[in-house]
Amino acid sequence: MTSMIPEAPEMPQPCDEWEDLHRAACAAGRWAAGDLMKRCSAWQLSREGQASVHIEPADSPVAAWLVQNRHATLTDAGTGVRQDFVLGSRHAEPRPPVAGEPASVLVSHAYAAAYCTVLAEEAGVTTTVHITTSHQ
């Protein structure tokens, strides 16, 4: 006799799936930041600032994974998560600020925008990039 109850679809392991997605988003960010650094002058890259990514909804699996793995924090409103990106003009990936090297708003924005694109396309979350510039 055939069961009338449909079989549950095989679900990928969330940890592996979200970690792979995060790696892919980071790789896209590194490529975008590196490409921008090749095309722009040091003067263009010298504008200081940083980028942050807002990912919604907060209860999406990818947002929960990012918070759990300390890649993002819950926003003040609790509607999403926030991830900050600070990249220097000579580094194509986020890192702690280095004394004497300002963070480049253009490089940070390029990384964050590419990162957002991957998350939005692959996880179906809403992403926005916010930039903060420093006065020079």
Distance in angstroms (rounded) separating the CA atoms of residues 25 and 18 = 10
Q: How many domains does the chain have?
A: 1
Calculate the average pLDDT of the chain. 84
For residue 64, tell me if it sits in a domain: yes
User: How are beta strands 49-56 and 73-74 bridged, if at all?
Assistant: unpaired
pLDDT at 89: 73
For residue 59, tell me if it sits in a domain: yes
Residue 29 has pLDDT above 90, yes or no: yes
For residue 3, tell me if it sits in a domain: no
For residue 41, tell me if it sits in a domain: yes
Show the tokens assigned to 8: 């549950």
For residue 1, tell me if it sits in a domain: no
Which residues neighbour 64 within 8 Å (Cβ) at sequence distance 6 or greater?
58
Distance in angstroms (rounded) separating the CA atoms of residues 104 and 124 = 29
For residue 119, tell me if it sits in a domain: yes
Domain that holds residue 34: 14-133
For residue 79, tell me if it sits in a domain: yes
pLDDT at 14: 53
Contact, 30 vs 104, CB < 8 A? no
For residue 6, tell me if it sits in a domain: no
pLDDT tens, residue by residue, 58-85:
999 999 999 999 999 999 999 999 998 8
